[in-house]
């Protein structure tokens, strides 16, 4: 199978940086959701900073594409991959904002579990991108990311069932339901990255 990127490839380095940001954001989110006694606002701010870095990298990719004559894979796939990675951070940022905005101060049933799945996906994304250079074994990581998404979906169901069983205040139900669903949507976005990676491999095989 062809080697898609050279060792010093600038696009490859941008994707790697993105996955480092995703991993860091997932770890921050886990702290926010697992130990709600911590001061949440500064952690949400750190995730917001990572989200801004993601936006900057996304625009940087466009600039680089416009300056580059020959690209290692199709130009639009480079943009699509970068944009899909950026979406994962965006959703994590949305969750962090919600936690602060809704003043969520106690753990929500099954939500730390979803976050832990997201953290596993973040690690897999990092590995999938790191092996993308040689287009080696990427599919195996993608399948694992999809499997993890199914796991997150199971936890979401548990979380929603517990929510309706134990929380009686409709306003609280609305707030917590949004956090559960947005967090699960982040795991969907990780799956979208996996799909983009798979389609890149499929096209370049």
Select from 18-26, 31-39, 72-80, 108-116 the region that touches a second copy (CB under 8 A): 72-80
83 binds a second copy (CB under 8 A): yes
User: With CB under 8 A, what is the number of residues at the site for a second copy?
Assistant: 33
User: 11 vs 23, which CB is nearer to a second copy?
Assistant: 11
Least spacing, CB of residue 41 vs a second copy, in Å: 13
Among 13, 41, 42, 55, binds a second copy (CB under 8 A): 55
Q: Is 140 among the residues that bind a second copy (CB under 8 A)?
A: no
CB 118 within 8 A of CB 152: yes
Contact pick of 97, 123, 127, 136 for a second copy (by CB under 8 A): 97
Contact window for a second copy (CB under 8 A) among 4-12, 18-26, 119-127, 157-165: 157-165
Residues interacting with a second copy, by CB under 8 A?
A: 55, 59, 62, 65-66, 75-76, 79-80, 83, 97, 101-102, 139, 143, 146, 157, 160-161, 164, 170-171, 173-175, 177, 195, 198-199, 201-203, 205
């Amino acid at each position: 199978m062809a080697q898609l990127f050279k060792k010093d490839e600038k696009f490859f380095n941008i994707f790697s940086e993105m996955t480092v940001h995703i991993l860091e954001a997932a770890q921050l989110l886990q702290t926010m959701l697992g130990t709600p006694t911590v001061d949440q606002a500064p952690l949400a701010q750190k995730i917001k900073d990572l989200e801004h870095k993601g936006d900057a990298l996304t625009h940087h990719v466009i600039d680089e594409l416009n300056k580059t004559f020959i690209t290692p894979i199709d130009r639009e796939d480079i943009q699509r991959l970068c944009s899909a990675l950026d979406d994962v951070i965006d959703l994590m940022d949305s969750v962090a904002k919600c936690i602060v905005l809704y003043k969520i101060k106690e753990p929500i049933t099954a939500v730390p579990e979803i976050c832990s799945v997201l953290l596993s996906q973040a690690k897999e994304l990092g590995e999938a991108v790191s092996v993308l250079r040689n287009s080696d074994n990427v599919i195996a990581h993608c399948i694992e990311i999809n499997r993890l998404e199914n796991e997150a979906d199971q936890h979401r169901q548990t979380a929603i069932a517990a929510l309706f069983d134990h929380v009686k205040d409709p306003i609280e139900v609305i707030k917590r339901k949004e956090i559960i669903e947005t967090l699960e949507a982040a795991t969907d976005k990780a799956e979208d990255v996996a799909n983009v990676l798979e389609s890149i491999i499929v096209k370049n095989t």
